[in-house]
Amino acid sequence: MQEEEPPSVPARDSSLIRPYARTGGRTAARHDLRLETLLSTDEERLYRANNDQAAMMRLCLQPRSVAEISALMKIPLGVTRVLLSDLITLNLVAVHEPGDKPNMALLERVLSGLRRL
Positive or negative, the Cα torsion across 94, 65, 35, 37? positive
Most confident of 9-18, 31-40, 59-68: 59-68
Phi first, then psi, for residue 96 (nearest 5°) are -120, 95
pTM (2 d.p.):
0.62
Does 49 have pLDDT greater than 80? Answer: no
Percent with pLDDT over 70 in the chain: 68
Closest CA to 66 of 52, 54, 50, 78: 78
Residue 115, CA distances (Å) to 74, 102, 103 in order: 31, 20, 19
d(CA 96, CA 100): 12
> Can you tell me whether residue 36 is helix, strand or coil?
coil
